[in-house]
A and B are shown apart, each in its own frame.
Chain A
């Protein structure tokens, strides 16, 4: 095995290790939030997996450079998303604090509740920008396909869970879970699409 191949393999392995850690931590956070049923703990619980995103992002950049797929648009997308995730955590923490301070009857509660939606909208905007800015047709094709598969997964899960919820057989699933679910499904699809032989 040549030095370059060995280095690429080590990069890939490090990247996937961080990615696996990140996804596991996110799923653990989601399960913990559902289990403790205290939405106000969400910002605190989200901080740990979000911190794992930093080395994951860094290793992804190094890996892409090593593999000869340096996509500036993808690097930009990842950076925008990472910043939006930290903004989301900060906004959630701020909204919880502000919500407690102004009380449940305040007319300002709606405005407070809408603040954490802004970083989520930035995450969605970043995906749209990436598709517009990516100049590598192959990478764009893969991104579109994985986004379509991620969307189909969210719709399928929501429809199946939704009908069970309709008959009160399962608890209500919060709408804010849509974007994290989409992100996980899209990334799984990306791995599948990158599999040898596809």
Chain B
């Protein structure tokens, strides 16, 4: 069996070069939006524009992950990443659906929609465990 570090692959290095600036954009944008948008702000072009920036930061992270799947030339590594992403999607859809219906019928607190992405990232761990169990 051969072992390899993901960082030995150029696609992973490019992924990190895209992911960290996107994360930085998110952190800066969320700080900026919290500072600039008052609690009782009305929805107008300015407030919506500022509030969109952190969301776009996350979209950039998702884009970086998509590019990784496209650019990975090692078919084995690509399969592992795709299995993780699909498992994470299943986890995110399941949690959002179950909680959404509990919200509809009971008095559970609402699940903020921005949590879907962190839940998906948690689902990647489930995907990793699924790969280990499958002996991959």
Contacts and interface: CB of A to CB of B under 8 A. Distances in A.
B105 A113 contact: yes
Given A113-B106, A170-B43, A178-B100, A165 B113 contact: yes
A3 B59 CA distance: 47
Interface stretch (A21-29, A53-61, A73-81, A154-162): A154-162
A32 to B, nearest CB: 16
A154 to B, nearest CB: 7
Contact of A162 (B41, B106, B113): B113
Interface size class of B (residues with CB under 8 A): 35 or more
Given A110-B102, A176-B96, A156 B116 contact: no
Contacts of B10: none
The bracket for how many chain A residues form the interface is 35 or more
Interface in B87-109: 88-90, 92-107
Contacts, number: 161
A17 interface: no
A169 interface: yes
Contact of A158 (B103, B106, B117): B117
A156 B106 contact: no
B69 A162 contact: no
B82 interface: yes
Contact of A109 (B105, B115, B120): B105
Given A155-B120, A159-B117, A175-B96, A166 B47 contact: no
